[in-house]
């Protein structure tokens, strides 16, 4: 699995943003659309900032872009401080020219009995657009990608899941206390992620070094769902120096 190591997360983020911009422009030139799979959290924020800058300074247009976010807490109102809808609007969508009907984020407001249908339709929409061209990922300390916690199968698709205790602890400060962190989330599956034509997984800082070693060099196991990326033929890992420090 190819690994690119950058001196800083800023440089690494710029390189990921450039890959995305190159795809969008290529598809524009062909009169076609591009489909992006997007992540939230602290890892991709700089990538989004670079894309916004390219839109504002270089006229990069997102009119031909469709996006699918990996996950959303459940339940979650879109206007809540911690919602991924709000996160994406603030970091990216409010600042670019993407038509809002081309943006997709799992719906945290659905009644429980509507979730399974929603998840099936989410997968169908991705497929009907020709699949995800580039899937951006972060990685959680549990080894999760999206909210696919340990135990998630390689053949899992979009579904309602229960968050791992460690994930809820890591989210506690955003929610002003672990007790306020939702216990569930809707997430694209490992199988959904593996179907993407290209995957870029990013990680910054020494806090991610141990799990990066397991994901990249460890055995392929559902105990570290990110280790399934070793089976993808067009996946690369983008790290800063600190996140790469445990790799041999």
Q: Which residues are catalytic?
A: 149
Question: Judged by CB under 6 A, does residue 146 bind ligand F6R?
Answer: yes
Residue whose CB is less far from ligand F6R, 146 or 182: 146
Q: Is 2 helix (H, G, I), strand (E, B) or coil?
A: coil
200 lies in the binding site for ligand F6R (CB under 6 A): no
* 105, 72 contact by CB (below 8 A): yes
The residue nearest ligand F6R at its CB is 138
CB nearer ligand F6R, residue 27 or residue 160: 160
If phi > 0 it is left, if psi is from -120 to 50 it is alpha, else beta; for residue 34 that is beta
Candidate residues 12, 35, 47, 70; the one interacting with ligand F6R per rule CB under 6 A: 70
The correct pick among 12, 23, 36, 39 for binding ligand F6R (CB under 6 A) is 39
CB within 8 Å of 98: residues ≥ 6 apart: 62, 63, 65, 67
The answer to whether residue 173 forms part of the interface with ligand F6R (CB under 6 A) is: no
**Using the rule CB under 6 A, which residue among 9, 13, 40, 152 binds ligand F6R?**
40
Binds ligand F6R by CB under 6 A, chosen from 71, 107, 123, 240: 71
Which residues does 80 contact at the CB level (< 8 Å), separation at least 6? 86
In the list 134, 145, 235, 239, the residue contacting ligand F6R (rule: CB under 6 A) is 145
Q: How wide is the angle at C-alpha 21 spanned by C-alphas 51 and 197, nearest 5°?
A: 120
Q: State yes or no: residue 105 binds ligand F6R (CB under 6 A).
A: no
What are the tokens at 210? 């141990």
Question: What is the CB neighbour count within 10 angstroms for residue 176?
Answer: 11
Q: According to the binding rule CB under 6 A, does residue 181 interact with ligand F6R? A: no
């Amino acid at each position: 699995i190819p690994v690119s190591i950058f001196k800083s997360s800023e440089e690494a983020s710029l390189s990921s943003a450039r890959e995305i911009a190159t795809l969008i422009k290529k598809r524009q030139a062909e009169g076609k659309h591009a489909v992006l799979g997007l992540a939230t959290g602290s890892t991709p924020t700089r990538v989004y900032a670079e894309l916004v800058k390219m839109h504002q300074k270089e006229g990069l247009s997102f009119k031909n872009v469709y996006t699918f976010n990996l996950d959303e807490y459940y339940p979650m109102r879109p206007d809540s401080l911690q919602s991924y809808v709000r996160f994406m609007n603030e970091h990216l969508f409010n600042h670019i020219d993407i038509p809002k009907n081309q943006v997709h984020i799992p719906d945290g407001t659905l009644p429980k009995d509507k979730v399974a249908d929603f998840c099936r339709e989410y997968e169908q929409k991705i497929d009907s657009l020709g699949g995800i061209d580039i899937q951006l990922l972060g990685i959680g300390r549990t080894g999760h990608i999206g909210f696919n916690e340990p135990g998630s199968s390689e053949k899992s698709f979009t579904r309602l899941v229960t968050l791992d205790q460690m994930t809820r602890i890591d989210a506690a400060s955003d929610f002003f206390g672990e007790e306020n962190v939702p216990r569930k989330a809707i997430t694209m599956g490992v199988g959904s992620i593996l179907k993407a034509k290209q995957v870029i997984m990013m990680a910054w800082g020494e806090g991610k070094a141990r799990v990066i070693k397991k994901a990249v060099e460890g055995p392929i196991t559902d105990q570290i769902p990110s280790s399934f990326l070793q089976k993808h033929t067009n996946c690369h890992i983008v790290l800063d120096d600190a996140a790469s420090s445990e790799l041999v």
